[in-house]
Chains A and B, each alone.
Chain A
């Protein structure tokens, strides 16, 4: 098992370097001189030139890239143009809100999606199954930024039940979490349904029934434990969508997270923040996927025993 985790960790390194390469290349091709952006158009030319020298902006691409990777490895993502504060610091103060939002979205998608998918599969072609399938398609298709706004219009403005913005109190959590979670809930539900349909036809399910096992145990223990294996992979991808979707959801609900910070920086062309944010979220996503891979091995003894 340790071998497996170690192997996964090692495989993470080239991916992270690759991601960093993409982000760096994008910042490299972005028009506009960072030194000018930092000091402002009106700054004296010598000051700008001095800062260019300090940051080594005239060095060749590859040297700048290596420096970028080395900085990133030391958790240094540069400074914001606007405040000249370290981007990492700004991101870390906002990360808890983003993480909380994404985790709540994950809870909604997993805790609702998996049971709904399982029930749908065990009652294939029933009214419940048909409705679940149709609503699943609808929820996958609704853009979450629009869903968020409509929820605000309905629940905050019309009914006055829930606050339209902020993320401090539990009442403020509900709308953003559902905005972010419903689409992925539908994804998880569809995935669970099809995986369950596959498993429920297997011979070992018949064996469990032939033992005299209760149908509920057959479904929720024997079948689900097998059906979850592919679903876990989907949930890993779901977390990526949730991190990405947080950008939009935070904007709608004025949540002070990384996503809203990035969107604000788009308007002020503060590219170090955008790139730093994307890099940071991509790294978080990779770490989550590493966790998913380990969980996967835990769920599927066939993988575990390969690395004994």
Chain B
């Protein structure tokens, strides 16, 4: 895993939200790396810090109250934490773009969809406005929307169609990295499959690296190469998809798999993880998972475990694997 090969490498990222009632430690010492053309699934429960991580990569964490406390984010080998706002603007929507969770609210209601796509093209590519509009219509075609709908407004589209528009915006400038934040959660199941299929095809066409944020392991199985499991703001396990699915190591990951109903295997009943996700304003000391962990040892509450490589590029953040 050499640095030059990686599209994105995040080291020790820490993001806090400072509110009147206390500090919300949303992302804590997060490490992750994504190779070119690779897709990684970022998996975890609601509140695990997945969206904050994604916004952190674009430096769009709402500030105040959010603040990037520490860490480095190397995009193509350059640390974007050090980049100025004008430099960041050249990256957003161009080199890195994002698909948001709720298509119903992520499009501007008073602009036509074509204008919203053309906007991002005009921002990053030098071309006359008329040309940008043409290209916007081409993008609509690519996501399966006929150009005669180009001058329609978002409210005239269904949820699935709107998400296609959002995808068109995200891919309009052929980004090298695409962050998809639960892109299908707000959609009907049948539409989900269509949108995923579309994303998969477009990703291949544009040869884009991708971070797929989801709590749905099925989606990960569908389109990711690698998986990072997040818990309380940091990655607790990271591996190739097949390796992780066959050979989960971290107690939380194992718990996560056991919580999924499996139609082919009804011998064992569901084993939900006991307890709740900790309040990020009040994280436990040591390993944040230890209060819920079956295999917790006394020292688990004392220090935060490092990530241990157990071979095959499989990293587990748990002292059980400290050899």
Given A203-B102, A207-B169, also A212-B109 (CB < 8 A)? no
Indicate whether A208 reaches chain B with its CB closer than 8 angstroms.
yes
- Could you tell me if A305 and B153 are in contact, using CB atoms closer than 8 angstroms? yes
From residue 159 to 179 of chain B, which have CB atoms closer than 8 A to chain A?
Answer: 166, 169
A225 partner residues in chain B, CB cutoff 8 A? 108, 110-111
Choice from B60, B109, B155 contacting A210 with Cβ under 8 Å:
B60
- Could you tell me if B91 and A305 are in contact, using CB atoms closer than 8 angstroms? no
A214 partner residues in chain B, CB cutoff 8 A? 89
Q: How far is the CA of A208 from the CA of B85 in the complex (A)?
A: 15
Tell which of A203, A211, A225 has the most Cβ of chain B within 10 Å: A211
The distance from the CB of A306 to the nearest CB of chain B, in whole angstroms, is: 10
Choice from B85, B123, B156 contacting A211 with Cβ under 8 Å:
B123
B110 partner residues in chain A, CB cutoff 8 A? 225-226, 229, 299-301
- Could you tell me if B108 and A207 are in contact, using CB atoms closer than 8 angstroms? yes
A interface, over-half SS: helix
- Could you tell me if B153 and A206 are in contact, using CB atoms closer than 8 angstroms? no
The distance from the CB of B153 to the nearest CB of chain A, in whole angstroms, is: 4
- Could you tell me if A211 and B119 are in contact, using CB atoms closer than 8 angstroms? yes
Q: How far is the CA of A206 from the CA of B102 in the complex (A)?
A: 12
Q: How far is the CA of A211 from the CA of B175 in the complex (A)?
A: 11
B153 partner residues in chain A, CB cutoff 8 A? 301-302, 305
- What is the number of residues of chain B that contact chain A, defined by CB distance less than 8 Å? 30
- Could you tell me if B123 and A207 are in contact, using CB atoms closer than 8 angstroms? no
- What is the number of residues of chain A that contact chain B, defined by CB distance less than 8 Å? 22
Choice from B93, B109, B155 contacting A204 with Cβ under 8 Å:
B109
The distance from the CB of B88 to the nearest CB of chain A, in whole angstroms, is: 8
- Could you tell me if A212 and B60 are in contact, using CB atoms closer than 8 angstroms? no
B97 partner residues in chain A, CB cutoff 8 A? 210-211
Q: Residue on A with the closest CB to B105?
A: A203
Q: How far is the CA of A123 from the CA of B97 in the complex (A)?
A: 27
Q: Residue on A with the closest CB to B55?
A: A206
Indicate whether B100 reaches chain A with its CB closer than 8 angstroms.
yes
A67 partner residues in chain B, CB cutoff 8 A? none
Q: How far is the CA of A225 from the CA of B155 in the complex (A)?
A: 16
Q: Residue on A with the closest CB to B90?
A: A212
- Could you tell me if A203 and B119 are in contact, using CB atoms closer than 8 angstroms? no
Q: How far is the CA of A207 from the CA of B92 in the complex (A)?
A: 10
Indicate whether A233 reaches chain B with its CB closer than 8 angstroms.
no
From residue 188 to 230 of chain A, which have CB atoms closer than 8 A to chain B?
Answer: 202-204, 206-215, 222, 225-226, 229
From residue 175 to 193 of chain B, which have CB atoms closer than 8 A to chain A?
Answer: none
The distance from the CB of B293 to the nearest CB of chain A, in whole angstroms, is: 35
The distance from the CB of A181 to the nearest CB of chain B, in whole angstroms, is: 28
Q: Residue on B with the closest CB to A301?
A: B153
Indicate whether B230 reaches chain A with its CB closer than 8 angstroms.
no
A-B contact list, 10 entries, CB within 8 Å: A204-B106, A207-B108, A210-B93, A210-B97, A211-B123, A215-B85, A222-B108, A225-B111, A226-B109, A302-B153
Could you tell me which B residues sit within 8 Å of A by CB distance?
58, 60, 85, 88-94, 97-98, 100, 102, 105-111, 119-120, 123-124, 153, 155-156, 166, 169
User: Which 8 residue pairs are nearest across A and B when measured between Cβ atoms?
Assistant: A212-B92, A211-B93, A212-B93, A203-B105, A301-B153, A211-B120, A203-B106, A204-B108
